[in-house]
Structure 1
Amino acid sequence: MKSAILYFLSVLFLFTNSAFARDGVKLIKANSPKISIRDGSEGKTRYWNHLIKSQSPIVYHLAKNGKMRQVVFYTDVDSISMQVEAEADYSFKVLLNESDTCTVILTTKNHQYVKQNNPQNETDTIPFTLNQNKQIIIKGSINNSPKIDFCFDLGARVAYVIGKNFDKPNKLVLDGLMEDESVTGLSTEKTSSNNTLQLGNLNISNMPICYIDEAGFLENGGALVGFNVFQNKILEIDFDNKRLIIHNKLPEKINTYTQIEFKQTTGGLYVPVTISNGKKIITGWYFFDTGADNALTFDSRFAKKEDLYNTMAVIGKAGIASSENRVVEAEILEVPTVSIAGFTVENVPALLANESNAESAFEDGVIGIGLQSRFNFIIDYPNSKMYLQTNKYFNDSFLNKDDRPINLIIGISIAVLLSAGFFFWFKRRNSNKLNK
C-alpha cells in the first residue's frame, strides 16, 4: 500500500509540472508570447524573449559551458523545469492561446567553428585597433557580406548589428523578437536566428543576432560581438601587439603568466580585484567588460557595505545615463592602489554613483579597458581560469596625451555613458538570450 501511494504521488508530481502533447513531448501553456528563463542559481531573466509561432522550432541559447544545473522556462501562466548539462538540446512544446503549438528547444550546444584557411592550426589570430572611444575594433563580416567594423565587447552576451537600414547589407533574415534595455528604456528589438559570422580565418555558424535599426554606432554602423562566441575556446587578448588569438588548448607560454580563477554567469565573467583606500584593503568581484572605456567602477551597494564613501580624493564629477532615461550623478575618485593577481596599479580613477545598477548579486564593480589594457590576458572559458601578465602599458599614467586628466573626459561624456558599460547609449548589458 505504501509503495502504491508513493507511485501515485510521483505521477502526480510529474503532471503538476507539465502536461504532455499527443506525441509524448512535455507541454506547457501560455496566453502571452513573452517568456523568461532562470538558468541555474542566477535570477530569472529580467527582460522577456518572445514565442514566435511562425518559427519551428524556436531555439533559446543557454550558457554554453555551465555544469549540470536546473533551468526553468516561464510563460505568463505556466513553467517547466529540467536538469541541463553542456552540449545538449532539451525539447518541449508550448500551447499558445489554446490554439498554436510552438516547439521549443533549450540548447547548451556551442556555435560551430569552421576554419577557412589552415584548418590544422591550433590558433587563429585576429588583429585589432583601439578607436578614439577606447573600443577594441576588429574586421569581420556577416553572411559573407562586405567587411564591417566589429566592436569586441566581453560585457555583451549576444551579437548585435547596429545601424540605420543595416539589416539588408548584412543579409539578416529578421524572424524573431527580444526585449532589451538601454538608457532610453525598455524596447522590443528584432532578431535574426541563424547567421554565419566571419572573423579572421574563422566561420562561426548558427549565430543569433539582434538588429538595432539606429544610427550613431561606429560612425556609419557596425556590429558588436560578445563573449558567447568564445565560450568553448581559450581567448588571448594581446594589447602589446593588438591582436586576439583564439586557442584550442593552453599555449606553452602560460608558465610566464599569473593565474586567477573567475566566476561565470549568463551575463559575463567576474574577476577578483583588491583595492586600498589608504585605510583598509578590500577585495571584491568585478565585471570584466572590454566595452567599458574607463578604468574602474564601484557599485554603490559595495561602496556602502565597505564604507568607501568620503574616504578617497574626489578628482572629478560625471553623469551616468541610467536605464530610466535620466542622468545619475557620480564622483570620480582616485584610488590609491588597485591589485589584480598580485599586480598593483597606483592612483586609479574610479567612478562611484549613489545608485546601484549591478546585474549580479555578487557584482561589486566593473573593470574596464583603462585597466585591462595594462595587461595581456589569456581567458580559459571552459575551465573558468584567467592568466595575465603586465605589458608595455602597465606603468603609463592615467593622463591623456594632451595632459588633461581622464576624469575631465568622463565628466563631459554624459550622453555616452552607461552605468555598467560606459560606452555608447545603446549598449545593452541586460539583454536576454536571443531566441531563434
Structure 2
Amino acid sequence: MRNYLLLLVLLFALPSQVLFGQRTNTTYPYSIPFQLTSHNNLSVRAVLNEQDTVKLMFHTAANAVTLTEEALKTVKSLTFAGADSVKSWGGSNNTSRFSTNNRLQIGGQTWPNTPIWENKNSGPETDGKFGIDLFEGKVIELDFDTNRMTIHETLPDKIGQYEKLKLIVDNGMLFLEAHCMVGNQTLKNQFLIHSGYSGAILLDDQFVAGHKLDDVLTVISEKELKDSFGNVIKTQRAILPGLTIGSQTLADVPVGFFKGALGRQKMSILGGDILKRFNLIIDAKREYVYLKPNRLLKTAYSAS
C-alpha cells in the first residue's frame, strides 16, 4: 500500500462520516456549475454558514474542506476550535487550525456539521478546496463542454458513449494506468487523478530513475511547486513524445520530474492540463472511470 502524501493534498485520519454531515434536500441527479481557471483548476462557488461566499477548488485527490490563510482574512462565520500538526507533500512541520460544525452549501446541496481546515495555499483564483468525499457512494460526472459537475445515484444512460477504464484505489486515492512513449519504448505506469495539479504530468522518482528518464528526456525549463503549506521544491520540465490513456494517445505532453533519486515524489500524477481534455464519469464504488474526449482535446498545453 502507498501510504503517501503529496502536493496540495491533506489526508486526515478521520472517516468521512465524521468529516462531513449528511447531505440535506438531495434530489438526483443534480448539477453544479464550475469555472475552469487559467491554471486548469475547477472553481466552484460555495456558501459557508449562510454568510460567506467563497470559491473552492474541486480536488479529486483531497478528502477535506480547506480555506487559505488569505481567504480567512475576510471570512467572518468560522470559529476555530484548535490546531493540529499535519504532514504535507513538501514537509512535516505544518500546523493547521480547524473549525467544526460548519454549514457548507454548494449548488442546491447543503452539508451541515462540516469541519474546515486552514491551509496556506490552494489553486490560484480559489479560496480553498473540497474533495470527492462529499459525494461518497455517488457517481461524479465532470463535463468540460458545459462546465458542469453532475452528481448521480446511478450511471447515466449516456455511459455507452464513454470508454471504461479500471481504477486502482490506494488509501482512498484514485489511480489510472497509462503508457508513456519514450523513443522505441512504451512504459506502463499508474497515475493519480489529481485535478489540484495544474500541469499535465508529474512523474514519480522511482519511475524516472528506473528508466533513466532524466538522461533520455531533454529538460526545457525548471519550475517551482508549492504544497498547501508553502513548502517549495523545484521540478525539471521536459516533453514526453506520447502518452496513451485507454485508446487515446496524446502527443508532445509536458512532463515534470525531480532530477536524481530524491525519494520524495512517490507517485505519478495526471494533472488538470490532461484531465480537462476528457469528460469523465467516476462510478459510485470508485471501481471505474469513464472517459470521453471533449472540445479541449487538441488545445495547446499550458506554457508554465
Q: TM-score range by the shorter chain?
A: 0.7 to 0.9
1:150 has 2:56 as partner? yes
Cα displacement (A) at 1:199: 0.5
Contact 2:41–2:123 (Cα < 8 Å) also in 1: no
1:173 has 2:79 as partner? yes
1:61 has 2:14 as partner? yes
Partners of 2:82 and 2:295 lie apart in 1 by 45
Pairwise CA RMSD? 3.0
Equivalences, count: 296
Partners of 2:59 and 2:110 lie apart in 1 by 19
**Other-structure match for 1:114:** 24
Cα distance change, pair 327–163 in 1 and its aligned pair in 2 (3 A):
closer
Contact 2:224–2:232 (Cα < 8 Å) also in 1: no
**Other-structure match for 2:236:** 331
Partners of 1:156 and 1:215 lie apart in 2 by 14
The runs of 4+ residues in structure 1 deviating greater than 6 Å are: none
1:139 has 2:92 as partner? no
The percent of aligned pairs where both chains have the same amino acid is 21
**Other-structure match for 1:187:** 94
Cα distance change, pair 126–325 in 1 and its aligned pair in 2 (3 A):
closer
- Provide the TM-score with structure 1 as the length reference: 0.61
Gaps of 5+ in 1: 1-40, 50-58, 65-106, 401-405, 410-436
Cα displacement (A) at 1:145: 1.7
Contact 2:29–2:153 (Cα < 8 Å) also in 1: yes
Cα displacement (A) at 1:250: 0.6
Give the secondary structure class of the aligned counterpart of 1:371: helix
**Other-structure match for 1:412:** none
Cα displacement (A) at 1:45: 8.6
Contact 2:65–2:128 (Cα < 8 Å) also in 1: yes
Gaps of 5+ in 2: none
Q: Which structure has the greater CA radius of gyration?
A: 1
- Provide the TM-score with structure 2 as the length reference: 0.85
Cα distance change, pair 170–263 in 1 and its aligned pair in 2 (3 A):
farther
**Other-structure match for 2:103:** 196
Write the mapping of 1:5-44 to structure 2, written as runs, cut at 5 A: 41=1, 43=3
Letter of the structure 2 residue corresponding to residue 282 of structure 1:
L
Partners of 2:44 and 2:231 lie apart in 1 by 30
1:248 has 2:158 as partner? no
**Other-structure match for 1:342:** 247
**Other-structure match for 1:357:** 264
1:372 has 2:279 as partner? no
Match of 1:386 among 281, 289, 293: 289
Letter of the structure 2 residue corresponding to residue 61 of structure 1:
L
Cα distance change, pair 388–279 in 1 and its aligned pair in 2 (3 A):
same
Cα displacement (A) at 1:114: 1.4
Cα distance change, pair 325–45 in 1 and its aligned pair in 2 (3 A):
closer
Q: Higher relative contact order by CA 8 Å / sep ≥ 6: 1 or 2? A: 2
Contact 1:157–1:268 (Cα < 8 Å) also in 2: no
Contact 2:122–2:129 (Cα < 8 Å) also in 1: no
